[in-house]
Amino acid sequence: MREGNSVLVTGGAGFLGSHLCERLLRERRDVVCVDNFFTGTRRNVEHLLGYRNFELLRHDVTFPLYVETDQIYNLACPASPVHYQHDPVQTTKTSVHGAINMLGLAKRLRARILQASTSEVYGDPEVHPQTESYWGRVNPIGIRSCYDEGKRCAETLFFDYWRQHRLEIKVVRIFNTYGPRMHPSDGRVVSNFIVQALKGHDITIYGDGQQTRSFCYVDDLIDALVRTMATAPEFTGPVNAGNPVEFTMLALAERVLKLVGGPSKLVFKPLPEDDPKQRQPDITLARQALGWAPKVTLEDGLKETVAYFRDLLRS
C-alpha cells in the first residue's frame, strides 16, 4: 500500500467533508476535495482555497475519476432525507457507482480507502443499542431505501474489494452528527430548532418531546474518521461512531431557547408516522480499536452551532 501525504475527500464541500478537509490541512496533508455541489457549497470550503496544499474539484462520483492520491475518504452522498429523497435514483447511483469508482481508483493506486457509512444500515433495529455485529432490519422498497440500501451495497462492495483485491478498506458507521455547516433546511432536529429560535419562530416539537435522540458533535466525529484511517491494515471495521448519550427533544429545545434567547415558544404537534424510532450507537469497538469516545458536551457543541447559524442568517 502507498504511504504518502495526499488525501482525496469526496463530498468534501459538504457538512462533514469540509470539517474533514480542515482537519487534514491542519495535519499538513495535501488535500483534493471533490464535490458536485448537490448539498455541499463552495462557501463551506472558501476559507481553505488559499492553502497551497488544497485543491477543489467539481466532479460527480458516479463518473470515474483519475487523480493521484494515497488515501481516499468517500463521503459523497446526500445525508438528510429531504435531500436524498429528492432524486432517489441518483442517491443509489451516488452510493453504489460512487463506491465502485472510488474503489476502482483505490485499487489502481493501491490507496487506502474509507467509506462514510451510516447507522441507517441498521434500519429499524430490534436491538438497542446497536453493535456492529447486528445485521439490521431495512425495508428494501420504501422511500428511505435509496439511501439505506445504497449504503449497505457500498459496504458490500468495500468488503468484496477487500476479499477479492486485498484492498485496505475502513468502514465507519456514522450516527447523527451536528455542528456548524449543517444545511439550514435539511429538516434535522438540531438545525430546525436553532433556525426557528434565531428567526423568533415557535419551536416545533413532535409528540410530547419525551422521545430521545443522541447527537455527536462534528469535531468528535471527524476525529473518529481520522483515527479509523490510521488503524493497522488488518482493521477494516465496520466501526460505529456516534455519541451514545441520549437526551429528550424537550431538553434539546429548552437548551437551544436558553442559548438563543428571544420570544420563541415551544409548540407541540402530532408525531409524523414515519418518525424513526430511537437509534443509539454501541461504541465499545471504537473505544477499544480507536481509543476514541466523544468529548464535546451538548452545551459546547450547541454554542458553536448557534453562532454559525446566527452568522449565516445575518449574511
Ligand X SMILES: NC(=O)c1ccc[n+]([C@@H]2O[C@H](COP(=O)([O-])OP(=O)(O)OC[C@H]3O[C@@H](n4cnc5c(N)ncnc54)[C@H](O)[C@@H]3O)[C@@H](O)[C@H]2O)c1
- For residue 217, give the 3-state DSSP assignment: strand
Which stretch in 171-179, 199-207, 244-252, 300-308 sits in contact with ligand X by CB under 6 A?
171-179
Cβ proximity to ligand X: between 264 and 302 the closer is: 302
- Grid cell 485499487 is found at 107
Q: Is 51 a catalytic residue?
A: no
Minimum CB distance to ligand X, residue 28 (Å)? 23
Q: Please tell me the total number of residues recorded for the chain in this structure.
A: 315
Judged by CB under 6 A, the chain residues 264 through 303 that form the site for ligand X are: none
Contacts of 28 (CB under 8 A, 6+ apart): 5, 53
Q: What is the dihedral of CA 168, 171, 177, 183, to 10 degrees?
A: 70
Judged by CB under 6 A, the chain residues 36 through 95 that form the site for ligand X are: 36-40, 60-62, 75-79, 94
Q: CA 184, CA 42: separation in Å to the nearest integer? A: 15
Cβ proximity to ligand X: between 6 and 39 the closer is: 39
Cβ proximity to ligand X: between 264 and 286 the closer is: 286
Cβ proximity to ligand X: between 36 and 214 the closer is: 36
Q: CA 209, CA 268: separation in Å to the nearest integer? A: 8
Give buried/exposed letters for 254-286 (b at 16+ CB in 10 A, else e): ebbbeebeeebeeeeeeeeeeeeeebbbbbebb
How many residues belong to the site for ligand X (CB under 6 A)?
29
* Cβ neighbour number for residue 79 with a 10 Å cutoff: 24
Cβ proximity to ligand X: between 79 and 306 the closer is: 79
Judged by CB under 6 A, the chain residues 175 through 194 that form the site for ligand X are: 176-177, 183
Instruction: Work out whether 17 is an interface residue with ligand X (CB under 6 A).
Output: yes
Instruction: Name the active-site residue from 73, 147, 178, 217.
Output: 147
Binding residue for ligand X, selected from 7, 8, 9, 16, defined by CB under 6 A? 16
Minimum CB distance to ligand X, residue 19 (Å)? 8
Exposed/middle/buried for residue 49 (C-beta within 10 Å: 0-12, 13-18, 19+): exposed
Interface positions with ligand X (CB under 6 A): 10-11, 13-17, 35-40, 60-62, 75-79, 94, 98, 116, 118, 174, 176-177, 183
Which residues are catalytically annotated?
A: 147
